[in-house]
Amino acid sequence: MTEYAFRAEGLVKRFGKTTALAGVDLAARPGSVLGVLGPNGAGKTTAVRILATLARPDGGTASVGGFDVVRQAARVRRLIGLTGQQSMVDDELSGRANLVLIGQLLDLRRTEAAARAGELLERFELTEAANRPVATYSGGMRRHLDLAACLVGRPRVVFLDEPSVGLDPGKREELWRMVRELTAEGTTVLLTTQYLEEADALADDIAVIDHGRVIAEGTPAELKRVVGGQAVSLRTTDPERSQAAAAVMERVAGRAPERTRQTLSVPVESDTAAWEMAAGLRERGISVTEFSLHLPGLDEVFFALTGTGRTSATPSAPVGTGTSPTNGTDPSPPVGPAPSDAGKETSA
């Protein structure tokens, strides 16, 4: 009886001079959703790739279903499904052919593979497009096919790396419903996302990663309490007014606001702070084009936790330069045969 569906302790991963993971601990109970949040380059994909046996840690340990991801990689692969940040399916094949092929690679008989493919195509509302080449699919359809591909082997643990990128709000809701169905069946899910809203909707627990470290963890409610209940944002087009407005916000909130283009935002303890800010702006005759009190977004969470917005990562930061990572080009040897397809990587 394993206590955790998966667990990582002190994971370290370096790429040359970049420390992608500097000692990361993650764990999830069976049937739960762990949301891993973090800005670009935080180390989310690296952590997922290690748990999915696609990359080897330089330090620390990780296990899935009690099996070590390095020493027992083959056992781990039988338990997992992975949807990568980049689509893994074959463009030239139809959606159906992709799923049948994966099923066969997982040692299903042809009829079983065909039945499983049909079932998943239906579940992901791809039946109509099933026999068309994937090249003709929309981004959202392709995303659905990726998910279907990762479920062919009925995995016990599913890794979803930013699964909702490129999905419209309707499709996103559908994805959330599907994730809930999976966990209701006892599947454990690790979900990386940039959206607090998504983590909020799905995750039982959240780990916030920044610069290769877990900087906060807890339930969504606990995490929100860290940043305070709400945030104030305002917009001014004039740089001078923006300076003056920032000073008012800082005086009331006790911390400098985060600046994204013309918008300033800062977490506040209660709505009283918003009224004080509004009064302060009015007293000084600072006019603004927008002013709002709202629940904190991921930007505010990060800002409160790290003091840096995700748009302001500097090259002097220890890791993560804010440039997009080069996923799928891990120079270290994969533990098993180099997989060309994460979906195919799983087995029944």
Asked if 194 touches Mg ion (CB under 5 A), the answer is no
Nearer Cβ to ligand ATP, position 88 or 108? 88
Nearer Cβ to ligand ATP, position 94 or 194? 194
139-151 and 95-105 helices, crossing angle to 10°:
20
Nearer Cβ to ligand ATP, position 72 or 312? 312
Asked if 98 touches Mg ion (CB under 5 A), the answer is no
95-105 and 110-123 helices, crossing angle to 10°:
130
Residue 314 interacting partner from Mg ion, ligand ATP, none (CB closer than 5 to 8 Å by kind): none
- The secondary structure of residue 329, as a DSSP letter, is -
Tell me the H-state helices in the chain.
44-51, 73-77, 95-105, 110-123, 139-151, 169-184, 196-202, 220-227, 239-253, 271-283, 298-306, 342-345
Shortest approach of ligand ATP to residue 154 CB, angstroms? 26
Residue 267 interacting partner from Mg ion, ligand ATP, none (CB closer than 5 to 8 Å by kind): none
271-283 and 239-253 helices, crossing angle to 10°:
140
Of the candidate spans 2-10, 41-49, 122-130, 138-146, the one that interacts with Mg ion by CB under 5 A turns out to be 41-49
Q: How many CA atoms lie within 13 A of 155 on its CB side?
A: 35
DSSP-derived 3-state class of residue 149: helix
Shortest approach of ligand ATP to residue 18 CB, angstroms? 5
- The secondary structure of residue 308, as a DSSP letter, is S
First to last CA, the chain: 21
Shortest approach of ligand ATP to residue 271 CB, angstroms? 32
Shortest approach of ligand ATP to residue 324 CB, angstroms? 6
Which residue is closest to Mg ion by CB? 45
Question: Residues 8, 45, 124, 304: which binds ligand ATP (CB under 6 A)?
Answer: 45
Yes or no: say if 171 and 19 are a contact pair by the CB < 8 Å rule.
no
Q: What is the DSSP string of 78-96?
A: TTEEEE-SS--S-TTSBHH
As given in the structure block, the two tokens for residue 308 are 């840096």
Nearer Cβ to ligand ATP, position 40 or 219? 40
Shortest approach of Mg ion to residue 192 CB, angstroms? 6
Asked if 327 touches ligand ATP (CB under 6 A), the answer is yes
For 64, list phi and psi in degrees, rounded to 5: -125, 125
Indicate the burial class of 169 (C-beta count within 10 angstroms; 0-12, 13-18, 19 or more).
Answer: exposed
Give CA–CA dist 213/42, Å, rounded. 8
* Interface map 51-90 toward Mg ion (x if CB under 5 A): ----------------------------------x-----
Interaction residues for ligand ATP, span 215-274 (CB under 6 A): none
Asked if 45 touches Mg ion (CB under 5 A), the answer is yes
Question: Residues 15, 67, 124, 303: which binds ligand ATP (CB under 6 A)?
Answer: 15
Asked if 95 touches ligand ATP (CB under 6 A), the answer is no
Nearer Cβ to ligand ATP, position 72 or 311? 311
Nearer Cβ to Mg ion, position 88 or 281? 88
For CA atoms 297, 210, 37, 341, the dihedral sign is positive
Interaction residues for ligand ATP, span 24-43 (CB under 6 A): 38, 40-43
Given the rule CB under 6 A, which residues bind ligand ATP?
15, 18, 20, 38, 40-46, 85, 319-320, 324-327, 329-330
